Amino acid sequence: MQTLIFATGNPHKVEEVNQVLSDAWDLHSMAEWGITEDLPENQDTLEGNALEKARYVYEKLKLDCFAEDTGLEVEALHGEPGVYTARYAGDSKDPNANIQKVLDKLAGAGNRRARFRTVIALIIKGEEFLFEGIAPGTIQMEKSGNGGFGYDPIFRPEGYLVSFAEMDAATKNRISHRGQAVRKLIAFLEERASKTLH
């Protein structure tokens, strides 16, 4: 088994990945290795932030690790909120205020196309790899649904007539940005583990 750290403060995300990873990998949260502080996110791209977080943990623990960063990119807002998705309406990271800001800025806009993008940065023995997942869609005129989190109530994925917040978790995970990026990461890790074993 090869030890791998998920550089996130969110134990649910660790559990989610653990459920689909084979026994070749021994996945741990960074908290289990004593990192409990907020990770640095000072870059102006999702790639930069994912790498910054992964490098921080790699430098501290010298263990293989990965980190992710996600943003909502709205076409008519030139890619905003992008890297500022979590704190678009302020440092309190209030999802309702964030949603309202997007709706206000898009008032009267003809083009409501948007996408969620997740970037995962993986560091194995000092070598860096990036994986990307994209979910295209549109910003609804108003909120609908109670599921999910963040901007889910206003994001309608392409090919569906409901928002992310109206979908069950399994359906969202099948098409979501994060689901796609995680599946790419896992395919890479399993391929790598099979090469190491044979």
Catalytic residues: 69
Q: Sketch the per residue contact string, 89 through 118, with ligand IMP: x for CB under 6 A, - otherwise.
A: ----x-x--------------------x--
Minimum CB separation from ligand IMP for residue 18, in Å?
17
Q: Decide whether 1 or 97 has the Cβ nearer to ligand IMP.
A: 97
- By CB under 6 A, residue 148 contacts ligand IMP: yes
CB count within 10 Å of CB 50 equals: 28
How far, in Å, CA of 175 to CA of 84, rounded?
A: 23
With b meaning 16 or more CB within 10 Å and e meaning fewer, what string describes 22-38? eeebebbbbeeeebeee
Closest CA to 139 of 117, 116, 170: 116
- By CB under 6 A, residue 150 contacts ligand IMP: yes
- By CB under 6 A, residue 85 contacts ligand IMP: yes
**Could you give the 3-state DSSP secondary structure of residue 137?**
strand
Q: Decide whether 4 or 115 has the Cβ nearer to ligand IMP.
A: 115
Do the beta carbons of residue 123 and residue 60 sit within 8 Å? no
- By CB under 6 A, residue 86 contacts ligand IMP: yes
- By CB under 6 A, residue 164 contacts ligand IMP: yes
How far, in Å, CA of 120 to CA of 106, rounded?
A: 29
Q: Which stretch binds ligand IMP (CB under 6 A): 25-33, 55-63, 150-158, 186-194?
A: 150-158
Q: Contact residues for ligand IMP (CB under 6 A)?
A: 69-70, 85-86, 93, 95, 116, 148-152, 164, 176, 178
